[in-house]
Amino acid sequence: MERNTILEQLKREALYAQRSFSKELLYQTYGKAQMARKLEVLTQSEFEEINRMTVYYMNTDKEYIRHCNESVTK
């Protein structure tokens, strides 16, 4: 697969995980990005972009955090 194809696939997966409010899918996508970076399929800046869409997103997005907090209290 080409570099851009992998990056685009990871972006699609990250967006799906965000819409699903799925911590597990966000971490899986981040893990895939880590592996792609280690295999030098992604550049550092591409990896950082996926990081912002996954781990950083989970820690900073107000709607995601609110949804997770509501799930815990139910």
Residues 13-53: pLDDT tens digits? Answer: 999 999 999 999 999 999 999 999 999 999 999 999 999 99
Q: What is the pTM of this model?
A: 0.88
Residue 26 burial class via C-beta count within 10 angstroms: exposed 0-12, middle 13-18, buried 19 and up: buried
Could you tell me the residue ranges of all domains in the chain?
3-73
Q: Are 6 and 42 in contact (CB under 8 A)?
A: yes
Residue ranges with strand state E in the chain: none
What is the number of alpha carbons within 13 Å of residue 8 lying toward its C-beta?
A: 5
